[in-house]
A and B are shown apart, each in its own frame.
Chain A
Amino acid sequence: MATTHNTETRATGQNRGRTALLVYLLLGVAFGIVLTKSEVLSWFRIQEMFRFQSFRMYGIIGAAIATAAVPVTLIKRLHLKSFSGDKIAIPPKQLGHGIRYAVGGTIFGLGWALTGACPGPLFALIGNGVTVMIAAVLSALLGTWAYGLLRARLPN
């Protein structure tokens, strides 16, 4: 009996795992739609933002942070569990000297303005038919790989 029970539990677990993967796919599709409909994937919008000529991008990012902050605070206060059964915990980023955030952030910012896209939009742009962004993604992979190579020598 115990064995049957275990097998059943495992089967349910696998099913739940598969369902979750489907949910991640659907959430990804929804995010791709939002990135397109909000126009945050547009090089033009990013230029408008960095030139401080429209409130739009600031409104979007600000509203996103505010909307996320409320449920995140509640989830932590109430010690909620996820549907997968784990206790929800957001791992805190280690501050260290903070150099990696300042320098890494600045390097990413340069790339953000040059490509006009952060990582999510890069992929959404490929879906939108701006296929040259495949080259940008490959180059981004090379950049991440280069970080992996140099990591031990970079200040944190």
Chain B
Amino acid sequence: MTSWLSGPWPWYVAGPIIGLFVPALLLVGNKVFGVSSNLRHLCSAVAPGGLEYFRYDWKKRGLWNLIFLSGIVIGGFLTAHSGTSHDIAISAQTKLALTKLGIHDFSGVAPHEIFNWHALLTLRGFVSVILGGFLVGFGTAYAGGCTSGHAISGLADFQLPSLIAVFGFFAGGLAATYFILPLLF
């Protein structure tokens, strides 16, 4: 029990729990599990800019999801402050490949060398955080969903568009991993 509280969860525990969010949200209020719609709701709430894409009742359609989203931040905070921090036990091969790329610090959930405010002024920090963030926002809006909406909700509902999107996710991810990261680091 203590190891469950302190250590990371194995895939066969974490995966099914993530999957259960889909029926849970459907049963509670007929809501489709998908995080990226919140980016659209936030734009609609803060700066619709007269664009048709943001002209809808965001409170009616998205308030529940924005509340869910704030819960995610709280959940991350609570777990991080539950007094159990540990390095991510990635495979030796990955560690070697990343060391070759120039990563030295393997503590924490993301490399401190790239993901800190000062690093935004470096090429790799800027590309990873700012360009990466922009592509996440643009791509999910264009594709109409992200990992939760397409890969989990969509595939669980056997939707072909979601399958195409997931192939795209991997095409982009592999391209960035093998062609862009080596140029940056």
Interface residues of A (CB under 8 A from B): 20-21, 23-51, 53-57, 59-69, 71-72, 75, 80, 82-84, 86-95, 98, 100-120, 122-133, 135-149, 151, 154
From B19, B54, B127, B154, contact of A148 by CB (8 A): B54
Query: Bound complex: CA of A114 vs CA of B146, how far in Å?
Result: 15
Contact residues in B for A130 (Cβ distance below 8 Å): 108-110, 115
Q: A54-B94, A87-B30, A148-B52 are in contact. List 18 more A-B contacts (CB 8 A).
A: A24-B71, A28-B75, A31-B71, A32-B78, A44-B98, A54-B90, A60-B15, A63-B19, A68-B33, A110-B132, A114-B180, A122-B133, A124-B72, A126-B73, A136-B133, A143-B141, A145-B49, A145-B137
Contact residues in B for A108 (Cβ distance below 8 Å): 135-136, 138-140, 142-143, 146, 165, 168-169, 172
Q: Determine how close the nearest CB of chain A comes to the CB of B171; give it in whole angstroms.
A: 5
Query: Bound complex: CA of A148 vs CA of B43, how far in Å?
Result: 9
Q: Is the CB of A104 within 8 A of B151?
A: no
- Main secondary structure on chain B at its contact with chain A? helix
User: Would you call B93 an interface residue if the criterion is a C-beta within 8 Å of the partner chain's C-beta atoms?
Assistant: yes
User: Would you call B156 an interface residue if the criterion is a C-beta within 8 Å of the partner chain's C-beta atoms?
Assistant: yes
Query: Bound complex: CA of A95 vs CA of B177, how far in Å?
Result: 28
Contact residues in A for B54 (Cβ distance below 8 Å): 145, 148
Q: Is the CB of A144 within 8 A of B71?
A: no
22 contacts between A and B (CB under 8 A): A31-B68, A35-B76, A47-B97, A51-B93, A54-B94, A63-B16, A64-B152, A69-B155, A75-B23, A88-B26, A93-B154, A100-B142, A104-B139, A110-B176, A111-B176, A115-B129, A122-B136, A124-B72, A124-B76, A142-B134, A144-B138, A148-B49
Q: Is the CB of A133 within 8 A of B129?
A: yes
From B19, B72, B91, B140, contact of A54 by CB (8 A): B91
Interface residues of B (CB under 8 A from A): 8-9, 11-12, 14-33, 35-36, 38-40, 42-43, 46-47, 49, 51-54, 63-65, 67-80, 88, 90-91, 93-94, 97-98, 106, 108-111, 114-117, 119-120, 127-148, 150-162, 164-177, 180-181
Query: Bound complex: CA of A42 vs CA of B142, how far in Å?
Result: 25
Given contacts A35-B76, A37-B79, A112-B173, contact A105 B166 (CB under 8 A): yes
Query: Bound complex: CA of A122 vs CA of B142, how far in Å?
Result: 19
Query: Bound complex: CA of A46 vs CA of B52, how far in Å?
Result: 35
Q: Is the CB of A132 within 8 A of B129?
A: yes
Q: Is the CB of A72 within 8 A of B161?
A: no
Q: Is the CB of A84 within 8 A of B135?
A: no
Q: Determine how close the nearest CB of chain A comes to the CB of B37; give it in whole angstroms.
A: 9
Contact residues in A for B76 (Cβ distance below 8 Å): 32-33, 35-36, 41, 123-128
Contact residues in A for B143 (Cβ distance below 8 Å): 100-101, 103-105, 107-108
From A51, A119, A143, contact of B38 by CB (8 A): A119
